[in-house]
Amino acid sequence: MSKIITRWGNNSIRMHKAQAREQPDVANRAQPLDWSALLAEHERWLRTVVYARLAGAEGVDEVLQEVALAAVRQKAPLHDPNKVAPWLYRLAVVQSLLYRRRQGRGRKLIDRFVQRRPPLEHDAGSPDPLSWLLADERHRLVRQAMASLLPRDAEILMLKYTEDWNYGQLAERLGISHSAVETRLHRARARLRNELTALNVVEVKG
């Protein structure tokens, strides 16, 4: 009988220890993130990222809507608030690429239709509202130079100078290292300067 009591006592001790280990896990279990608040918090700079990736304002709202839907429907929910910004950044890039792919297919269908049914009159289309604000020739050329850059180059330049972020803030949002931010910015600035030089916006120093 004493052996049975001893075994029961040992089992009880092990059960209490196991429960003690499990209790902190339950207590520390992360609460679901408030995605409505997080999306509102990060919307401005995500809009800049998508704008740069799409090379224009058209489609930005649609892509951001897809980002919001994907954030809410994610199969493996995030619980760490520190990982939200880089995760949203990668999601915005992917959704921008998907949008451009869809638009590419749509343009091909339109081109085929136009080839079969050419327009009777030339339609120049509506002017870009942004061009009204950037009527100055220099601004127009800067826009042209920015449009010629790779999306990732335009993106980091726009985030740096429209959001006024330092290297640490860029690294945190993009999920890359401080040195990677410095390298990307250096290359993007050099490429932009080359484009501006080609357009005679900046002079080449002899």
CATH code of the domain in which 134 resides:
1.10.10.10
| Percent of residues, the chain, with pLDDT higher than 90 | 38
- Residue 6 covered by a domain: no
The predicted structure's pLDDT at residue 103:
81
Question: Within this chain, do residues 43 and 101 fall inside the same structural domain, yes or no?
Answer: yes
Question: Considering only 95-99, 105-109, 125-129, 136-140, which range has the smallest mean pLDDT?
Answer: 125-129
Question: Token digits for 154?
Answer: 């335009």
Question: Within this chain, do residues 112 and 135 fall inside the same structural domain, yes or no?
Answer: no
Question: Within this chain, do residues 148 and 101 fall inside the same structural domain, yes or no?
Answer: no
Please identify, among 75, 101, 119, the residue that sits at the C-terminal boundary of a domain: 119
- The C-alpha angle 39, 165, 160, rounded to 5 degrees, equals 100
Q: Which residue has the higher pLDDT, 104 or 114?
A: 104
151 has a pLDDT exceeding 50:
yes
Question: Within this chain, do residues 149 and 176 fall inside the same structural domain, yes or no?
Answer: yes
Instruction: Calculate the average pLDDT of the chain.
Output: 76
The whole-angstrom separation of Cα 10 and Cα 18 is 12
Question: Within this chain, do residues 137 and 176 fall inside the same structural domain, yes or no?
Answer: yes
The whole-angstrom separation of Cα 27 and Cα 133 is 55
Q: Which of 114-128, 133-147, 180-194 has the highest average model confidence (pLDDT)?
A: 180-194
| Percent of residues, the chain, with pLDDT higher than 70 | 66
Q: Which of 51-60, 103-112, 182-191 has the highest average model confidence (pLDDT)?
A: 182-191
Please identify, among 119, 137, 166, the residue that sits at the C-terminal boundary of a domain: 119
For 94, the domain range is 31-119
Question: Within this chain, do residues 82 and 35 fall inside the same structural domain, yes or no?
Answer: yes
- Residue 21 covered by a domain: no
Domain count, the chain: 2
Cα-based torsion angle of the residue sequence 35, 39, 41, 43 in order, rounded to the nearest 10 degrees: 180
Question: Within this chain, do residues 93 and 43 fall inside the same structural domain, yes or no?
Answer: yes
pTM over 0.75? The answer is: no
- What's the Cα-to-Cα distance from 183 to each of 176, 178, 187, 198, rounded to whole Å? 11, 9, 6, 23
Question: Within this chain, do residues 36 and 76 fall inside the same structural domain, yes or no?
Answer: yes
List helix spans (H) across 28-77: 35-54, 60-73
Question: Within this chain, do residues 48 and 104 fall inside the same structural domain, yes or no?
Answer: yes
Please identify, among 84, 119, 154, the residue that sits at the C-terminal boundary of a domain: 119
The predicted structure's pLDDT at residue 205:
58
The predicted structure's pLDDT at residue 14:
53
8 has a pLDDT exceeding 90:
no
42-77: pLDDT as tens digits: 999 999 999 999 988 889 999 999 999 988 887 667
Question: Within this chain, do residues 56 and 104 fall inside the same structural domain, yes or no?
Answer: yes
Question: Token digits for 60?
Answer: 């930005």
Question: Within this chain, do residues 106 and 41 fall inside the same structural domain, yes or no?
Answer: yes
Question: Within this chain, do residues 107 and 71 fall inside the same structural domain, yes or no?
Answer: yes
